[in-house]
Amino acid sequence: MEPSSAPGELGAMLRAASDFASYPGLHSDDAVRQFLEQCPLPMLLGALQSETDVPGMVETVTECLHKVFSSRYGASLLPNYGAFIQAGLLTDSKEIRKLACKAVLNLLDKAEDGAAAVETVVQHNLYPLLIKCLIEGDEEISAVILDAVKRLAQIPKGAEIIFPPGGLGSVQLGKVAAQSSSLARIRILSLIAKLFTVSSYTATSICDSNLLSIFEDEIKDRRDMLKTLSALEVLYELVEHRHSNIFVLKTNLLQLIIDVINDSAADSVIRSRAALISGRLLSSADAFTAVDQSYVTNLLVAIDKILEMEESMDTDEIESALETLGLIGTTTQGAHFLLTSSNVARHVVKSSFDRQGRGRQLAALHAFGSICGADRQEDQMKLDGQAEDCLKRLVYTTAANSPKLTPSALLLSILQQDPDMRIAGYRVLSGLVVREWCLREVCLNSEIIKLITDPTMETTKLGMEARYGCCVAINKALSSSHLLHEASLSELVGKLNDAVRRGPYLSDRKRVEAQPVVVPAERF
């Protein structure tokens, strides 16, 4: 029997619920209020608790209630139905459990009074039930719970439910993880990663609770490639948070990451992801004060081995290694370390002008741009004397060993390639020209200036902005250099000034545009 054919009052309610659920999009608060006057919440919830066997009834009512609770008015009623949410989280019915999980999310997300919503969670002991559903439910339910617990943590009193001050939570995530399946542990790691980004309180609480050790355990045991990769993927998301390195670098995770990169038996995908995690961890100035430099040295040695053996390495692994160096090179400390304390910078510069592999060359150019200072503030672009000498020597040596012979010819060759390469080349030039030696190389090559100042060179927004940024960088470096007053460069200075004045998007005003012609119709 279908809901529409159910007898009497139940049938009428189900027909109304079906119509309400099938409405596309969200209902307004007024529409929800009017619907609940026709079909009160106790009646709808009673239908889910009844033993009446009407095919499709549970699906219809749960979808209808989801639409109700998704409105602000419907969510405001949830504190009065905490017992129903509790029962829903405990039920074996997937549809009702999913509804209960979404109800918790709506309760926390749309509540005008966060404290009252949290009180509902406390009063009905919902947090431990959410964790139980997280590890036992399907992917859809788990995804809803991750959002719900994150929202709970964003409310001050809610964060204290998960991490009570000076004590362990009602559910100890570490203990739950130790007793759970591999899939459940990955879900707990995903929850930890989400909570880590909420606030300094939750990040500190995670570290104080030693929850990051769960990542260590999963990565340390590399017998199951899928399990290790899943843990690395979640860790990759966690270290994207800007303060993550302060906490993560106090653990053994960096050393474990280095071990993975050094593990020749590990799959290239795992090694690539591990390398990028290390790059993110070391991509801020704070990282170099939080970690022993011996770890950085060991990491660069591991990456150097990958780049030395590029012929036998997976292409993605080579590109990830180069991208990692770019991340490390974004700070002055990182760039100095790359140039003076290892051999890896030589690989970056060499690969930047090696056209044997497009992906590798593109990754190297972006890394080179970062090392040169393209991502740093203007007053931090230059490095100390030792690092600057190393950078200059690498560029001139690479040029001398190439068919191009000079740095300016090498740089020109990049600007003559495809749009993606040119964008990467603009980054390199923008960083390098703050050095007098590179500025001279660029200014003495009329072809470089011709391409840089050509307003029709790029056709995409990203390309136009990159080209213009390069123009500005050269013009600014030139304005503070004695080269500005050399008579032979006067024409060049004029071209740069004109290009900067035009802006990134305007094409040459002298170009003749097609004009519409209006011809009156002939009448007979």
Please indicate whether residue 230 or residue 223 has the higher confidence score (pLDDT): 230
3-state SS track over 347-402: HHHHHHCCCCCHHHHHHHHHHHHHHHCCCCCHHHCCCCHHHHHHHHHHHHHHHHCC
Establish if 131 belongs to a structural domain.
Answer: no
Establish if 308 belongs to a structural domain.
Answer: yes
Per-residue pLDDT reduced to its tens digit, 299-339: 999 999 888 887 666 788 899 999 999 999 999 999 999 99
Residue 4 has pLDDT above 50, yes or no: no
* CA–CA separation, 419 and 53 (whole Å): 64
How would residue 512 be classed by pLDDT, with cut points 50, 70 and 90? very low
The total number of structural domains that make up the chain: 2
Are both 386 and 444 inside the same structural domain?
A: no
Establish if 490 belongs to a structural domain.
Answer: yes
DSSP assignment letter at 4 = G
Are both 247 and 383 inside the same structural domain?
A: yes
* CA–CA separation, 118 and 322 (whole Å): 47
Are both 277 and 373 inside the same structural domain?
A: yes
- Model pLDDT, residue 516: 60
Are both 348 and 309 inside the same structural domain?
A: yes
For residue 42, give every residue at least 6 positions away whose Cβ sits within 8 Å of its Cβ, in sequence order, or none. Answer: none
- Distance separating the N- and C-terminal Cα atoms of the chain: 73
Establish if 198 belongs to a structural domain.
Answer: no
* CA–CA separation, 75 and 68 (whole Å): 8
How many alpha carbons fall within 13 Å on the CB side of residue 113? 9
Is pTM beyond 0.85? Reply is no
| Closest by CA position to 362, among listed 408, 405, 416, 418 | 418
What does each C-alpha distance from 411 to 38, 83, 353, 427, 471 come to in angstroms?
A: 74, 69, 8, 11, 14
- Model pLDDT, residue 14: 86
How would residue 446 be classed by pLDDT, with cut points 50, 70 and 90? confident
Establish if 232 belongs to a structural domain.
Answer: no
| Closest by CA position to 473, among listed 426, 409, 414 | 426
Token code pair at residue 122: 């406390």
Task: State the CB neighbour count (10 A cutoff) for residue 357.
Answer: 15
Buried b (16+ CB within 10 A) or exposed e, 481-512: bebeeeeebeebbebbeebbebebeeeeeeee
Establish if 327 belongs to a structural domain.
Answer: yes
- Model pLDDT, residue 509: 46
- Model pLDDT, residue 523: 52
**What value does the mean pLDDT of the chain take?**
86
Stretch 438-447: mean pLDDT: 88
Are both 419 and 395 inside the same structural domain?
A: no
- Model pLDDT, residue 522: 56
Residue type at 24 in one-letter notation? P
Residue 524 has pLDDT above 70, yes or no: no
Are both 341 and 456 inside the same structural domain?
A: no
Stretch 90-112: mean pLDDT: 90
Are both 483 and 361 inside the same structural domain?
A: no
* CA–CA separation, 251 and 216 (whole Å): 9
Establish if 350 belongs to a structural domain.
Answer: yes
Per-residue pLDDT reduced to its tens digit, 186-206: 999 999 999 998 888 888 888
Per-residue pLDDT reduced to its tens digit, 132-161: 999 988 899 999 999 999 999 998 888 888
We report the CATH number of the domain holding residue 301 as: 1.25.10.10
Are both 256 and 334 inside the same structural domain?
A: yes
Range of the domain at 318: 241-399
Are both 421 and 497 inside the same structural domain?
A: yes
DSSP assignment letter at 291 = S
Are both 433 and 346 inside the same structural domain?
A: no
Are both 365 and 425 inside the same structural domain?
A: no
3-state SS track over 103-170: HHHHHHHCCCCHHHHHHHHHHCCHHHHHHHHHHHCCHHHHHHHHHHHHHHHHCHHHHHHHCCCCCCCC
Are both 310 and 416 inside the same structural domain?
A: no
Token code pair at residue 321: 């290694």
Establish if 328 belongs to a structural domain.
Answer: yes
| Closest by CA position to 301, among listed 273, 259, 332 | 259
Token code pair at residue 112: 């005008």
